[in-house]
């Protein structure tokens, strides 16, 4: 019997709680929006977003760890002829459940989901502390630096 299971819509609030443990600063509407997004996507098995979780062994209705990912449609190219790329985000283990292999198990299940969906490229961003885990799963650092521009919201 596996520790990992695919998250359901009922897990959305716990997934948001775990996300709050890694997002520093800022409060507002993101939690409400994330909750709605997760509920919508997790209730549809064909959705382009999935989460894999480990239940906290000593706490009912709590999650110990999660890995959430989505499939993005990008323009096709030589490295990705379908244009579909997996993106991993929100890999989190609750503080009291770390160093038990839960994040690895969730990641392995998420990577298997990507593979079943025909995804051949998976991207992520990670902290220096998490880099050994991702390297052990086959991820490599890219030479291209990431950049971001925050545009002001309309209105």
In a domain, 144, yes or no: no
Residue 134 exposed, middle or buried by CB count within 10 Å (0-12, 13-18, 19+): buried
Beta-strand ranges (E) seen in 11-136 are 49-55, 63-73, 84-93, 122-124
> pLDDT digits over 30-66, tens only?
899 999 999 999 999 999 999 999 999 987 889 999 9
Instruction: Report the CATH number at residue 110.
Output: 3.40.630.30
Number of domains in the chain: 1
In a domain, 84, yes or no: yes
Say how far apart CA 93 and CA 114 lie, in whole Å: 21
Q: What is the pTM of this model?
A: 0.92
* Structural domain boundaries, residue 104: 4-136
In a domain, 151, yes or no: no
pLDDT, position 155: 59
Q: Could you tell me how far CA 3 lies from the centroid of its own chain?
A: 17
In a domain, 71, yes or no: yes
In a domain, 141, yes or no: no
């Amino acid at each position: 019997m596996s520790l990992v299971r695919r998250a359901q819509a009922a897990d959305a609030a716990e997934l948001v709680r775990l996300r709050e443990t890694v997002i520093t600063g800022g409060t507002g509407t993101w939690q409400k929006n994330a909750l709605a997004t997760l509920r919508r996507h997790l209730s549809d098995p064909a959705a382009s977003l999935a989460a894999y979780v480990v239940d906290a062994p000593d706490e009912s209705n709590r999650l110990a760890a999660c890995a959430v990912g989505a499939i993005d449609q990008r323009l096709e190219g030589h490295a990705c002829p379908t244009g579909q790329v997996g993106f991993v985000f929100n890999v989190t283990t609750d503080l009291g459940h770390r160093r038990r292999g839960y994040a690895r198990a969730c990641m392995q299940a998420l990577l298997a989901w990507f593979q079943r969906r025909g995804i051949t490229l998976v991207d992520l961003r990670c902290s220096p502390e998490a880099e050994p885990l991702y390297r052990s799963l086959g991820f490599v650092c890219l030479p291209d630096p990431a950049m971001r521009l925050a545009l002001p919201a309309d209105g």
